[in-house]
Amino acid sequence: MKKPVWKLIDWTDPKNYEHIKKDPSDEVYAWEFLRRNPQYQNDFAEFVRTGKFLGYTRYILNDDGKYTPRHEDMRDWYGLSCESINYDPKSTTPPIFAKGDYPRFLQKDDYLRSDAATDPDDLLEIAQEEVVVVLSTNHNLDHQISQIKDLLKQEQDKNVAFRRRTELYIKYLRLLDAYLMDVPEAGILNILYANEEKFRSILHTNLKAAQRLRDHNYKRLVSL
């Protein structure tokens, strides 16, 4: 993968994160993590250059019996609303996140809270690790079905319960920015973890959590 092309942020200066403290909303945090995703950065650059999102292509059967490729909007893939005009990773202004997208995946706790589950006799007997897939006939079925495998894999990877740790998110972002600049671990420890015991293990734990938020858990921030 190519090294992402965007303005590197001086992670050592807390002032570069002041805009987040002014509006510490879930949408702002979700965007700050997503825009640091190297794959998102590369996909955006290619989408601007070609108008196509090659990682998300469907083949449509025409009336003449031939299949033609249809390149979808990358905003769908990353959970952004197609109403979003700005989704440039260089911008600090968050786009509009899509909510109520399909397919949706409900685990047991979600299902128990759902509006549809008003009658106890209607509840499905599902284990905590099992998932209910909700499709919509009002949305493109090919699109929904094509995402099921990837989304299930993400759910499997996210088996650990998701915890919102907003008090750590700016540290997570600074950590991602430091690694993007290839800062040695000793330099990161000196600035971000100087007063913490067992800081090396904390750094690695924080980095994994930050990477999960960058790559997929940002969607959970705006869906909780």
For 174-221, how does the pLDDT look when each residue is reduced to its tens digit (9 = 90+)? 999 999 899 999 899 999 998 776 788 889 999 999 999 998 889 888
Give the dihedral sign, CA 107/114/146/98: negative
Average pLDDT of the chain is: 76
Q: Assess if residue 138 is contained within a domain.
A: no
Q: Assess if residue 158 is contained within a domain.
A: no
Residue 70, domain extent? 14-98+163-221
Q: Assess if residue 137 is contained within a domain.
A: no
- Residue 211 is predicted with a pLDDT of 93
Domain count, the chain: 1
Residue 45: CA count within 13 A, CB half-sphere: 13
Model confidence band, residue 72 (pLDDT cutoffs 50, 70, 90): low
Q: Assess if residue 176 is contained within a domain.
A: yes
Q: Assess if residue 116 is contained within a domain.
A: no
H-helix or E-strand containing 104? strand 104-106
Q: Assess if residue 47 is contained within a domain.
A: yes
- Residue 57 is predicted with a pLDDT of 58
Q: Is the pTM value of this prediction over 0.85?
A: no
Q: Assess if residue 120 is contained within a domain.
A: no
Question: Measured at the alpha carbon of residue 109, what is the angle toward residues 112 and 169, in degrees to the nearest 5?
Answer: 140
Q: Assess if residue 111 is contained within a domain.
A: no
- Residue 117 is predicted with a pLDDT of 42
CB 117 within 8 A of CB 123: yes
Report how far residue 16's alpha carbon sits from residue 32's, in angstroms, rounded to the nearest whole number.
Answer: 12
- Residue 68 is predicted with a pLDDT of 66
Model confidence band, residue 131 (pLDDT cutoffs 50, 70, 90): low
